[in-house]
Structure 1
């Protein structure tokens, strides 16, 4: 410990280590302890000048006095009171006192004047924002924002088809025993399905029992995020901003594609589908075999993009008033998720598969709508794809950023990287007024986006079927599709998840003249 402290003194103060020459100001010391408790803990070293880093060792009697004083401050100047661990370090001419403060479990802590402090680099700052206070309470488990109520929303604001898809996935075995599968399930009313799952239950009672409706009759935030028709009417910031820039700067005013707010409006399943469509139409396919006509694959593996997107949607902070932001640049893709890693997690932890969900109730239920396993292996599986990815946990701005670097060979110049289905030749030009962010130029880009989204099928699909349609943005074999679903390559599975989607126009064959060809693949239909 002595060597570690001496090395830290040479390096200077950081967010987790603070220096004080003496404990002369009880209030100031109390504020430091509050800030550490509201952050991830730290050490207060007494006997070092915080301006110069020069050691001014304590005498034996000063050590006794300082130790007692620190304990008093932790009890009287920190609310609620905390326990600290105090050690001494022998140095030339005397001692240093090192107080170790753990991350608090009853956040937010405040001083004896009622002020909340948090660490701000090597310094501290006051907190006044309710969202930041709520984030502290969430971090220590005393507040669950996904179970908070949504003011004035009612069950009529939820989407019936999404609730049916959720129930189908969650209670598939029960429904199968009751004969509610396939067309029988599709034709059944929501109340009929609920009654089959639990006798005497209608939709409202089912949602109450599943805790999507609170005892006071109000919808939870999780219900609105998972099932809402127009989620952003009630929760405006629970959305995503998607922009594909020309160049490598977020300050650029020229873009190739963006998703309009109206097209993103909807629940998490809709947002997931919209984001994946954005990726697949703006990232490139690269050849994986030498033959010119060989099928390519998405330059960033589709499975990795799924994991990163679900991570942003499910694990984002629900307290912070900021949207998810997704940017595609010429050299990288960035996914910005509001909120730094929760519960003291580090980047190394998530790479190893450590799972400590921020929004536990949402996390445990979104698994029945979104494609993830829920066992914390998503990031690890994405890394197995051998992609060049950087994770940035930025606590100072409360944001977690995933950056996936694109291969230089996959980068295309501005003129050749136009998005398909543009309105006319003039709107295809990246340079000039047609693609400017400001003014009338947005009208062209917006109409383009609406055209692209007008092809979206209106018929409701199950969660697994939607995932397969998106998965086939790159041509896939039958074996790949079955592996994606975790199902055996049997006739009934092929009929449900491939043949039926081809017949309905969601998928198309790469070799339609020979349906039974050994090299047959399936891709997402360009039109419906």
Structure 2
């Protein structure tokens, strides 16, 4: 947002799409503002501006604290979570934060206190029963990977990766793109990667130039601990793996190759070696975590290596009525349908629900834990 637009909004004063706040320290009060904008037409929250429009500004410490507060509140205090875009803007030699909130696609939204709020001019109010019924009836309940990301556009797509994908998936479409008989934005929209000129979460994670710029919590944390417990002070190796889902998969696989034992297959000096655990076992589980995790939870996937086991921890418990026994028998529910569809040509993934059965066939002692309280799904692979 340009400085001139900010100044214009400030001069016009607060209304249904513009709100001023000198500062914000309370997550519940911030959630009220985010929910009200999301249930209405969206808007901009300007922090560092007094109610009368005087620009007070923010110092660097306030900005750091507010960025963390906004991120946590949007994920933990708004249901379902939203993805606001924050900007630090210099106005009259003072810094303020502009929080852009889109009109929600999964309305109605509520606070974690159960309040359904909307805008009424420059104020906010509780929504009536009639309004709620209407919104529930017309709501487009999108999957997480179909949500659009504020601040993105088609320029954030790595077209080289898109072309590689289409070369395997649909060469005719690729040829039409090269001949300029089919616009790339139409192709991306049809694939569920672009909507309203913004990248969807799937588009960003699969083909984004810098995916973590817009979704900073979606990456893989890999740590090789010394011993059998999580201890931040006792680790052998660690790596934070960012990038597209394919880059994350390849990075996590290489981390495990580097940190597992390589066992000689004979006593010869130049004997070939094999990993102590079949690559297909942890490869399948890493792919499952990337494709099936809950992207409404702002957290990374964890790949932990201990002396006696590997743990792959995915944010989000199993969806709906799915249970560990059901997935062992091949039943699957597609939490992220766009990722599920497109990953088949980007990752070693079939999408048929056969992955867990294959893992257990290769290594029957793998443990699957659906922790509903912590809202994580863990896979524990014993080491030999």
The TM-score range, normalised by the shorter chain, is 0.5 to 0.7
Query: Greater relative contact order (Cα 8 A, min sep 6): structure 1 or 2?
Result: 2
Matches of residues 118-133 of structure 1 in structure 2 within 5 Å?
none
Question: Shift in Å at residue 388 of structure 1?
Answer: 2.4
When residues 114 and 209 of structure 1 are mapped into structure 2, their CA distance, relative to the original with a 3 A threshold, is closer
Counterpart in the other structure of 2:200: 220
Mark the structure with the bigger radius of gyration. 1
Give the aligned partner of residue 300 of structure 1: 277
The structure 1 residue matched to 2:314, chosen from 325, 328, 337, is: 337
**Hey, what does 1:231 align to over in structure 2?**
211
Match of 2:222 among 201, 218, 242: 242
TM-score (norm 1): 0.45
Q: Deviations over 1:377-434 (max 9, x none)?
A: 0111111113521111001111000010101xxxxxxxxxxxxxxxxxxxxxxxxxxx
- 1:201 corresponding residue in structure 2: 182
1:368 aligns with 2:349: no
Partner of 1:402, secondary structure, is strand
Q: Which ranges of structure 2 fall in alignment gaps of 5 or more residues?
A: 1-105, 117-135
What corresponds to 1:274 in structure 2?
Answer: 251
**Within 1, Cα distance between the matches of 2:364 and 2:277?**
7
The 2-side partners of 1:156 and 1:268 are apart by: 19
User: Following the alignment from structure 2 to structure 1, what is the Cα–Cα distance between the partners of residues 334 and 163?
Assistant: 25
Conserved? CA contact 1:148–1:220, under 8 Å? yes
Residue 115 of structure 1 deviates from its aligned partner by 7.0
CA distance in 2, matches of 1:253, 1:388: 30
Given that 2:222 and 2:304 are in contact with CA atoms closer than 8 Å, whether structure 1 keeps it comes out as: yes
Report the equivalent of 1:390.
367
Change (3 A) 1:269 1:114: closer
SS of equivalent residue, structure 2 residue 352: coil
Q: CA RMSD in A?
A: 2.8
Query: Higher strand share goes to which structure?
Result: 2
Partner of 2:231: 251
Relative distance call for 1:378 and 1:212 in structure 2 (3 A) is same
Query: For residues 11-410 of structure 1, what are the structure 2 equivalents within 5 Å?
Result: 142-172=141-171, 174=172, 194-195=177-178, 200-214=181-195, 216-260=196-240, 264-289=241-266, 293-407=270-384
Per-residue CA shift, 1:420-458, capped at 9, x if unaligned? xxxxxxxxxxxxxxxxxxxxxxxxxxxxxxxxxxxxxxx
Cα distance between partner residues in 1 of 2:375 and 2:246: 25
Compute the TM-score of the two structures, normalised by the length of structure 2. 0.61
Aligned partners of 1:393 and 1:400 also within 8 Å: yes
**C-alpha contact 1:340 1:395 (8 A) present in aligned 2:** yes
Between the aligned partners of 2:382 and 2:108, the Cα distance in structure 1 is 38
Q: Unaligned regions of 5+ residues in structure 1, if any?
A: 1-105, 117-136, 176-189, 408-528
Check 1:291–1:352 CA distance in 2 against 1; reply closer, same or farther (3 A cut).
farther
Secondary structure at the aligned position of 1:259 is classed as strand
- The question of whether the paired residues in 2 share the 8 Å contact of 1:304 and 1:382 is answered with yes
- 2:59 corresponding residue in structure 1: none
Deviation at 1:203, TM superposition (A): 2.1
For residues 166 and 374 of structure 2, the distance between their equivalents in structure 1, rounded to whole angstroms, comes to 38
Question: The residue matched to 2:345 in structure 1 has which SS?
Answer: coil
- Counterpart CA distance in 1 for 2:169 and 2:217 is 28
Structure 1 pair 201–251 and aligned structure 2 pair: CA distance change class (3 A): same
1:84-117 per-residue CA deviation (whole Å, 9 max, x = no partner) reads xxxxxxxxxxxxxxxxxxxxxx99999xx9579x
What is the rounded CA distance, in whole Å, between the counterparts of 1:246 and 1:114 in structure 2? 44
- Conserved in 1, the CA contact under 8 Å of 2:225 and 2:231? no
Q: Specify whether residues 208 and 195 from structure 1 end up closer, same or farther in structure 2 by C-alpha distance, changes over 3 A only.
A: farther
Q: Does structure 1 retain, via aligned residues, the 8 Å contact 2:309–2:382?
A: yes
Q: For the Cα contact (< 8 Å) 1:355–1:376, is it kept in 2? A: yes
Closer, same or farther: CA 250–360 of 1 in aligned 2, 3 Å = same
* CA deviation after TM superposition for structure 1 residue 211, in Å: 2.6
Per-residue deviation at 1:226? 0.3
SS at match of 1:367: helix
Aligned residue for 1:396, secondary structure, equals: coil
What is the number of residues matched between the two proteins? 256
* 8 Å Cα contact 2:193/2:202 also seen in 1: yes
Residue 285 of structure 1 deviates from its aligned partner by 1.6
Kept in 2, the 8 Å contact 1:242–1:327? The answer is: yes
